């Protein structure tokens, strides 16, 4: 261990919900997108799933509304170090979308892409089983544009760069194709509990 002279740090908090190397951002919700926040209206928004599926399909906001509503209440973790506790997102479970396109047995990964062209890659297993959402609301209100509104992908058990803002679609693949940050040296999976920040972690 490489102890830093004179460094004591903040008072230790017993917080079993805090993954290694993270701190509690409290009420802050930092914005870290690398691109210009798009002017994307609800009417312009659409979400498509294609690739290794039986029936590729595109939803607009109205079509997505016909799917069962599902909420996530819990924590989110950003690779830059902050975690945010007890946040509430409203939307639709990704399982509901996937059920309708019927993924092939050969599909193992997905690339999620945004209306801005941002991409991120995920194992398909991380997007199923009630662990991923398309989120339209934050704390009961429309998701603000700088946080990905009208809709973002929400995969709260992975670092938040996987939760693509301004989500436009998922392409299902039988291999991993690195997305934006993954090509920029970040980890292929990004599990905060194993501190998978950068490739090689």
Partner 1 sequence: MTETAAKATAAVAFAPPTRFAVPGRVAVAGEAAAVWQTATITGVRRETPHASTFRFAVPGWAGHLPGQHLMLRLTAGDGYAAQRHYSLASAPDDSGHIELTLDHVVDGEVSGWFHTVARPGDTVEVRGPLSGFFAWPGDRPALLLGAGSGVVPLMSMVRHHRARALDVPLRMVVSARSPEELIYARELGPETTTVFTRAAPRGVPVGRMAATHVAPLLAEQPAGGWEAYVCGSNGFAEHASRLLVAAGQPVDRIRIERFG
Cis bond before residue 23 (omega within 30° of 0): no
176 contact choice in partner 1, ligand FAD, none (CB below 5 to 8 Å, kind-dependent) = partner 1
From the list 97-105, 135-143, 151-159, 167-175, the region that binds partner 1 by CB under 8 A is 167-175
Helix segments in the chain, DSSP class H: 61-65, 94-101, 180-183
Q: Does 184 bind ligand FAD (CB under 6 A)?
A: no
What count of residues does the chain have?
201
In the shown chain, the binding pattern of residues 24 to 63 toward partner 1, with x for contact by CB under 8 A and - for none, equals ----x-xxxxxxxxx-------------------------
Query: Structure tokens of 74?
Result: 């819990």
Query: Structure tokens of 96?
Result: 């509901």
Residue 95, CA distances (Å) to 26, 50, 102, 129, 189 in order? 30, 14, 10, 7, 19
Q: Does 13 bind partner 1 (CB under 8 A)?
A: no
Q: Does 82 bind partner 1 (CB under 8 A)?
A: yes
For the bound state, the minimum distance from the C-beta of residue 30 to partner 1, rounded and expressed in Å, comes to: 4
Residue 57, CA distances (Å) to 19, 52, 188 in order? 36, 12, 26
From the list 64-72, 85-93, 99-107, 113-121, the region that binds partner 1 by CB under 8 A is 113-121
In the shown chain, the binding pattern of residues 79 to 118 toward ligand FAD, with x for contact by CB under 6 A and - for none, equals -x--------------------------------------
In the shown chain, the binding pattern of residues 1 to 30 toward ligand FAD, with x for contact by CB under 6 A and - for none, equals ---------x------------xx-x----
Q: Is 152 exposed, middle or buried, given 0-12, 13-18 or 19+ CB atoms closer than 10 A?
A: buried
């Amino acid at each position: 261990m490489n102890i830093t002279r004179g460094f004591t740090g903040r008072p230790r908090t017993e917080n079993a919900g805090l993954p290694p190397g993270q701190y509690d951002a409290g009420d802050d919700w930092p914005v870290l997108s690398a691109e210009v926040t798009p002017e994307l209206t609800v009417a312009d928004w659409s979400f498509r799933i294609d690739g290794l599926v039986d029936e590729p399909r595109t939803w607009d906001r109205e079509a997505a509304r016909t799917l069962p509503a599902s909420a996530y209440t819990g924590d989110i973790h950003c690779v830059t170090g902050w975690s945010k506790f007890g946040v509430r997102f409203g939307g639709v479970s990704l399982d509901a979308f996937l059920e309708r396109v019927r993924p092939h047995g050969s599909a193992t990964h997905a690339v999620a892409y945004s209306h801005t062209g941002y991409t991120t890659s995920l194992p398909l297993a991380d997007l199923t089983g009630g662990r991923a959402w398309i989120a339209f609301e934050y704390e009961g209100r429309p998701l603000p544009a700088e946080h990905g509104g009208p809709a973002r992908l929400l995969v709260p058990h992975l670092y938040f760069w996987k939760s693509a803002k301004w989500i436009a679609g998922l392409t299902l693949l039988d291999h991993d194709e690195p997305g934006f940050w993954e090509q920029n040296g970040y980890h292929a999976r990004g599990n905060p509990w194993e501190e998978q920040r950068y490739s090689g972690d």
